[in-house]
């Protein structure tokens, strides 16, 4: 990645202690760049920030309607959840609805990020299941589409009809052929695109409510589901959940591993994509908060905003030692 710009600063006292560089793009509904930082053509893996794109075939295929999926289930299909009971209970019910079990997943087991759920497993001497994987909602969506298509059980393989449907949707909304793919933490292919391509896709999602074609109706439904159920998209203590709550359900945002963050802003018909080159989540959270504030959809002084933008650095005694701040380049 060439020509990244400073996006987040870590201050301790009067000294700039660390600096995070990155790329970001804001696109309108036509895919045109409204504003950019760094290199819009930097090629990245969107990681979990692309889950709403991966969920498009779930709806456009007719599978969601066939199985009567709710907005909660659509939100879970886009989620990187904490593995709390509000997540796993719903995913287990979804599996039962399909007549499937945890063994049908191909995402792998993961210790819950939700501390009460983790402690419950420890206290009962149980091990995490695949349903605890933060991507189990996405995989429940894959399984639903797979059952609808009548395809084979190895739905994460690159040549499987489920993943080929995801690739087709991905290339359509990003407006470019994906140059490569990698295997994500949950074993599904993750298709590469440019920062601009990812922002273009989010701009397309943001304007979907004004169109009536099947793909746009699917995008509008997924955006609404995410914004309406922020607790299911991530969970308590998470930036996705906290910031969507702070914006009152008007904006859908989603993080991805290695410091990717996207935003869908329907009222402005704008899409945002952020990538921090060193993979630091604290920096991507700061950058997306700064952009949302700059666009006027997030209040700078909201308590949730202050957790990520101009956030105090507290030591183990609770003493304020510094701050995480957006760089001067990020200020509108």
- C-alpha 273/C-alpha 284 separation (Å) is 10
Residue 2, pLDDT score:
77
With CA atoms as reference, report the closest residue to 274 among 16, 42, 108.
42
What pLDDT sits at residue 1?
A: 64
For the segment 147-177, what is each residue's pLDDT rounded down to a tens digit? 999 999 999 999 999 999 999 999 999 999 9
* Burial (Cβ within 10 Å: 0-12, 13-18, ≥19) of residue 123: exposed
The 8-class DSSP code of residue 257 comes to T
Q: Measure the CA–CA gap between 16 and 37, rounded to whole angstroms.
A: 21
**What does the alpha-carbon distance between residue 111 and residue 41 come to, in Å, rounded to a whole number?**
36
Q: Is 263 left (phi over 0), alpha (psi -120 to 50) or beta?
A: beta
Residue-level pLDDT, tens digit, the chain, 332 residues: 679 999 999 999 999 999 999 999 999 999 999 999 999 999 999 999 999 999 999 999 999 999 999 999 999 999 999 999 999 999 999 999 999 999 999 999 999 999 999 999 999 999 999 999 999 999 999 999 999 999 999 999 999 999 999 999 999 999 999 999 999 999 999 999 999 999 999 999 999 999 999 999 999 999 999 999 999 999 999 999 999 999 999 999 999 999 999 999 999 999 999 999 999 999 999 999 999 999 999 999 999 999 999 999 999 999 999 999 999 999 88
Q: CB under 8 Å to 121, separation ≥6 — which residues?
A: 111, 112, 127, 128
The pTM for the full model equals 0.97
Question: Among residues 180, 161, 165, 154, which one has the least CA distance to residue 55?
Answer: 165
Pairing of strands 15-28, 43-44: unpaired
Contacts of 127 (CB under 8 A, 6+ apart): 109, 121
302 DSSP β-pair partners: none
State how many domains the chain has. 1
CA–CA gap between residue 128 and residue 158 (Å, rounded): 27
Q: What is the CATH number of the domain that holds 285?
A: 3.40.710
Report the distance separating Cα 285 and Cα 78, nearest Å. 18
Residue 224's CB is within 10 A of a number of other CB atoms, namely 18
Note down the domain range covering 150: 5-330
């Amino acid at each position: 990645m060439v020509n990244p710009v400073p996006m987040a600063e870590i201050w301790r006292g009067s000294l700039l202690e660390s600096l995070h560089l990155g790329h970001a793009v804001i696109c309108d509904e036509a895919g045109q760049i409204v504003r950019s930082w760094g290199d819009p053509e930097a090629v990245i893996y969107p990681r979990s920030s692309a889950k709403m794109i991966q969920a498009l075939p779930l709806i456009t295929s007719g599978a969601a309607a066939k199985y009567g999926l709710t907005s909660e289930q659509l939100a879970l299909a886009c989620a990187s959840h904490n593995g709390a009971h509000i997540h796993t209970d719903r995913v287990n019910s979804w599996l039962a609805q399909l007549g499937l079990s945890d063994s049908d997943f191909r995402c792998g087991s993961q210790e819950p990020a939700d501390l009460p759920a983790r402690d419950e497993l420890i206290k009962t001497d149980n091990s995490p299941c695949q349903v605890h994987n933060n991507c189990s909602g996405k995989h429940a969506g894959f399984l639903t589409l797979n059952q609808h298509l009548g395809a084979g059980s190895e739905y994460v393989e690159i040549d499987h009809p489920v993943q080929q449907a995801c690739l087709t949707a991905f290339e359509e909304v990003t407006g470019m052929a994906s140059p490569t793919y990698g295997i994500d933490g949950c074993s599904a292919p993750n298709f590469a695109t440019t920062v601009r391509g990812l922002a273009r896709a989010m701009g397309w999602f943001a304007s979907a409510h004004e169109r009536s074609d099947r793909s746009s109706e699917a995008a509008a439904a997924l955006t609404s589901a995410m914004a309406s159920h922020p607790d299911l998209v991530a969970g308590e203590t998470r930036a996705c959940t906290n910031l969507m709550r702070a914006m009152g359900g008007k904006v859908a945002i989603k993080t991805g591993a290695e410091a990717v963050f996207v935003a869908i802003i329907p009222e402005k018909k704008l899409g945002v994509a952020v990538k921090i080159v060193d993979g630091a989540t604290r920096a991507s959270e700061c950058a997306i908060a700064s952009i949302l504030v700059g666009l006027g959809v997030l209040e700078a002084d909201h308590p949730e905003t202050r957790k990520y933008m101009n956030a105090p650095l507290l030591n183990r005694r609770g003493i304020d030692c510094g701050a995480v701040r957006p760089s001067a380049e990020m200020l509108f």
